[in-house]
Amino acid sequence: MHLINSSNCNQSNRESLLSESELRTQSFYDKWIGGKGFRSFIGRLVFNLSGVAYAGRFIKASNLDPQDRVLEVGSGLGQILATSHRKIKSKKTYIGIDISYQMIQRSTQFNGSLNQSNPLESIVASGLQIPFQKNCFDVVLLSHVLKYLPDSQVAQVLEEIKTVLLPKGRIVLWEFKPYPWTAINHLIVRGSGSHRLRTHREVETLLEEKGFQNIQPFHIHTPWPPWRNLAYTAYVE
Ligand SMILES: C[S@@+](CC[C@H](N)C(=O)[O-])C[C@H]1O[C@@H](n2cnc3c(N)ncnc32)[C@H](O)[C@@H]1O
């Protein structure tokens, strides 16, 4: 395994043993993003546009500094981090982890060829077992990942994120939020191969229970369906 040393922060050689629900998500994304049909083409297009759609909001919400060390959990094609890195002219190597081999392979191909100085290292790993030591990152991003996690796994991912964040580090997260109509929520969940959508109150409670501080909602817009999002920043002590 290629181990990354990011500013005195070593990648641990912790192997990810995926849960059953993660294996389902992995297979869903590997088939979708790695496929040859029109649906796969649209999937790749949407995730390639994530940088354009979200990097500005991410930079603002996290108050991103060029010196910040950044991790994204469930980084997909890596476009949010790569675009943010370029926009703020960071000199740090950002890290993206994702359980989908297809996402990570394409992220590595794209970001490797895009920029010789390699803005982003993409690793196949689970957010339930983040393969980094304590106190490694200033900012952790979780973009459209929450819906894939049952409550117990959200708690575990938040605990892992707390561990790898530096004191005063911050988490930025967003996710689609439920519509008042169950049938539409059911369609969104089925179409994305996910577990469930959560309300503002549910997400706030999950962050509070993990001891995150200064939990602040912010507005984020997705230029494709299902449009409605909730978004938060929060800090560790
Ligand atoms: C909707 S995509 C979002 C990709 C990217 N964050 C973006 O916004 O463009 C969700 C991603 O989360 C990944 N994912 C889901 N559960 C995960 C877990 N437990 N650990 C790491 N990645 C996970 C999926 O493989 C998928 O690539």
What does pTM read for this prediction? Answer: 0.95
Q: What is the pLDDT of residue 1?
A: 43
Task: Assess if residue 159 is contained within a domain.
Answer: yes
Mapping DSSP onto H, E and C, the string for the chain reads CCCCEECCEEECCCCCCCCHHHHHHHHHHHHHHHCCCHHHHHHHHHHHCHHHHHHHHHHHHHCCCCCCCEEEECCCCCHHHHHHHHHHCCCCCEEEEECCHHHHHHHHHHHHHHCCCCCEEEEECCHHHCCECCCCEEEEEEECCHHHCCHHHHHHHHHHHHHHEEEEEEEEEEEECCCCCHHHHHHHHHHHCCCCCCCHHHHHHHHHHCCCEEEEECCCCCCCCCCCEEEEEEECC
Domain holding 73, by residue range, is 19-235
pLDDT mean for each 10 residues of the chain (237 residues): 57 84 97 96 95 97 97 98 96 96 94 70 96 96 97 96 97 97 95 95 97 97 92 96
Q: What is the pLDDT of residue 210?
A: 96
Which residue minimizes the CA distance to atom 17 of ligand 1?
74
Choose the residue to mutate in 57, 99, 110, 174 for probing ligand 1, maximizing ligand atoms within 8 Å of C-beta. 99
Q: Given the CA of residue 19, which atom of ligand 1 is nearest to it?
A: 19
Q: How far is the CA of 139 from the centre of ligand 1 (A)?
A: 17
Q: What is the pLDDT of residue 6?
A: 52
CATH of the domain at 63: 3.40.50.150
Task: Assess if residue 14 is contained within a domain.
Answer: no
Q: What is the pLDDT of residue 2?
A: 47
How many domains does the chain fold into?
1
Task: Assess if residue 132 is contained within a domain.
Answer: yes
Q: How far is the CA of 12 from the centre of ligand 1 (A)?
A: 21
Q: What is the pLDDT of residue 118?
A: 75
